[in-house]
Amino acid sequence: MDRPVRVAVVGSGPSGMYAADALTAQDDVPVSVDIIDRLPTPFGLVRYGVAPDHLSIRSVRDTLDKILDKPSVRFLGNVEVGVDVSMERLRDFYDAIVLTYGASRDRALGIPGEHLPGSIAATDFVNWYTGHPDMPPDAFVGFLAETRRVAVVGVGNVAVDVTRVLSKAPGEIDHTDMPQHVLEALRDSSVTDVHVIGRRGPAQATWTTKELRELGELEEAQVIVEEGGDVSDEASRRAAEDKAVARNIAVVAEWSQRADDGRGRRVHLHFRCRPVEIVGDDRVEGLVVERTELDAEGQAHGTGDTHRIAVDAVIRSVGYRGTAVPGVPFDERRNVIPNIDGRVMDGEVPVPGLYVAGWIKRGPTGIIGTNKKDAVQTVTCLLADARAPGFLTAASPEPESVDGALAGATVVDAAGWRRIDAAERALGARRGRDRTTISTRDELLGAAQG
């Protein structure tokens, strides 16, 4: 091929940005990369998933931002594949497409009462407090004003983030880049009690020790271990041989010895409790849980012993799942795109020129840094295929640019993103913060256009 290999990366979260970086960091195969995202802003879950009070983790976007300065990389924001341009048309413009759009849908609990008002997905609440443009600014204002007791189902880092945001004093979040309407709603929140529900014990929880310890450092909330905090079963004792698990167990054990100190907010930890029903007439009034016991492999089994926890709301945080793209193979059981080392597979056959990286490749696992190694693996396969005649997809020696197909769309390029960035920094400076997130699509597009 006498011209650079044209690659479209669909999704600008960490895996997409790392894929673009890996493609353009090598010299063996000349490439040009268009990073396409349906949102006007890049960086995916770094911007709309990492908790705003975790400033050091969110700062990785400054590193990712530098990738957009590369001369062979373009950002095409506010472009939705399947709406503004089809996958079929994309394959006319590019030699290879790398799908990195993540896993943005929540998993349901699948229990009676889940439809009741006051039963919500953690993904929606996280999107709201991080300023995702899909969430209306008033989405949870009434929820926070009317709710005193919340059950958060799940014992991973997202569940801890949600619990911490609900339990922090206003002074503990005023420095963050949360949208102003979110800060005001949290300041006026009526929430006093958050019940964290885990179907297994503290040895099987998937939160990290750093995230867990932060719950014990809240100014106005104390942590109370209500039930199931011991590690006397065989599976837990075996799991505790891992140093990271042992640290988590030690944190929970120390909390279980604390006396009630009279603070106005409380975080209640319920281990070995499986939600079986959300009860209420017109809205959530309680969560019925069944006590569980662990077998030798650490799997939870119901005991038949149930009790009710009085709550006004239930936030489910039991994982993310990927969604299909028309025309692309999809594994409905695992909710990922089937692949081998990043090459998309249709049965036993690789799909020429189609690749995948990140959560939609492997499922919602790992930390931000995990996506770098994952993206490099995919890019290595792509570059190897680029050296194999006929494997990539563009039939024309000089395929036309995608720009013509996007003539009717309002595309935000890297310069437009930089104008959004400057506007958010200016908005934050007026309030004594580094940044205030702009959250509506119209405002983002207005800022992008200057």
CA dist., res. 203 & res. 214, Å (int): 18
Give residue 190's pLDDT.
97
Q: Confirm if 293 and 84 have CB atoms less than 8 A apart.
A: no
What is the per-residue pLDDT across 129-172, written as a single tens digit (0 to 9) for each? 999 999 999 999 999 999 999 999 999 999 999 999 999 999 99
Give residue 307's pLDDT.
98
Give residue 395's pLDDT.
47
CA dist., res. 446 & res. 450, Å (int): 6
Q: What percent of the chain has pLDDT over 70?
A: 98
> What is the end-to-end Cα distance of the chain in Å, rounded?
40
Give, to the nearest 10 degrees, the angle between helix 122-130 and helix 157-167: 60
Give, to the nearest 10 degrees, the angle between helix 14-24 and helix 370-386: 40
What is the per-residue pLDDT across 185-218, written as a single tens digit (0 to 9) for each? 999 999 999 999 999 999 999 999 999 999 999 9
Taking CA atoms, 107 is separated from 52, 120, 134, in Å, by 23, 11, 18
Give residue 396's pLDDT.
57
3-state secondary structure of 119: strand
CA dist., res. 193 & res. 221, Å (int): 9
Give residue 450's pLDDT.
86
State mean pLDDT over 87-95: 92
Taking CA atoms, 274 is separated from 36, 114, 173, in Å, by 40, 14, 32
pLDDT at residue 255 greater than cutoff 60: yes
Give residue 393's pLDDT.
59
Residue tagged 């040009």 (tokens): 32
Q: Confirm if 170 and 187 have CB atoms less than 8 A apart.
A: yes
Give residue 389's pLDDT.
72
Q: What percent of the chain has pLDDT over 90?
A: 90
Domains of the chain listed by start with CATH number: 5-104+322-412 (3.40.50.720), 107-320 (3.50.50.60)
Q: Confirm if 305 and 290 have CB atoms less than 8 A apart.
A: yes
Q: How many CB atoms lie within 10 A of CB 449?
A: 11
Give residue 392's pLDDT.
65
Q: What is the pTM of this model?
A: 0.94
CA dist., res. 430 & res. 194, Å (int): 33
pLDDT at residue 177 greater than cutoff 90: yes
What is the per-residue pLDDT across 286-310, written as a single tens digit (0 to 9) for each? 999 999 999 999 999 999 999 999 9
